[in-house]
Structure 1
Amino acid sequence: MTDCGCDKAKAELEEYLHDELCKEDAADIREHMAHCEDCSSELRVGQVLTDAVKRACREQAPEHIRDQVLARIRDVQAGHGSPVAGI
């Protein structure tokens, strides 16, 4: 296993955060992060952002808003309105 370097670590950061790299590339990134303060700082920022997006995706709109959106979608699908009318 070889230390991959900053360019590779930064280029593959998103894939690393989403566990989309092969074992060898992930191990190279992990090793690099352990020894590079700059890249490990970017990793921490990426982890915070990724976690925030995951939490936001689990949240749901209030039921009355969901009902309005679904009703509007049904109207548009039935041909009773413009897709952007009333928005």
Structure 2
Amino acid sequence: MTDCGCEKAKAELEEYLRNELCNEDAADVREHLANCDGCSSEAHLNVVLTEVVQRACKETAPETLRTEVLLRIRSFQASVH
């Protein structure tokens, strides 16, 4: 294993976080993240952001909001035609 450097680590970060890299490349990125505070912080931010988005996607809008949005869409569509 060798430290792959910031450029390669950042280029492969998304694939690394999704476990899509081959073992050798993943080991190189992992080693770099262990020794580079900047890239490690970026990786942590990506993990947190992904978790927040995943939680948000599971939330359901209140029924009153859904109804209001649909009414506005229908009103807009009626005014266009």
2:13 is aligned to 13
Of Structure 1 and Structure 2, the greater helix share is in 2
- CA RMSD of superposed structures (Å): 2.3
2:77 is aligned to 85
> 2: distance between equivalents of 1:33 and 1:17?
11
TM score, norm. by length of structure 1:
0.68
Report how many aligned residue pairs link the two structures. Answer: 73
Pairs within 5 Å for 1:48-63: 48-63=48-63
TM score, norm. by length of structure 2:
0.72
> 2: distance between equivalents of 1:47 and 1:60?
23
Aligned-residue sequence identity (percent) comes to: 60
Task: Measure how far apart 1:22 and its partner are.
Answer: 1.7
After superposing the two structures, state which structure 1 stretch, 43-52 or 16-25, moved more.
16-25
- CA deviations on 1:18-73 (whole Å, 9 max, x unpaired) are 2222222111111100011111111111111111111112212234528x76xx8x
Task: Measure how far apart 1:8 and its partner are.
Answer: 0.4
> 1: distance between equivalents of 2:41 and 2:47?
10
> 2: distance between equivalents of 1:57 and 1:16?
23
Task: Measure how far apart 1:14 and its partner are.
Answer: 1.3
1:28 is aligned to 28
For structure 1, the 5+ residue unaligned runs are 73-80
For structure 2, the 5+ residue unaligned runs are none
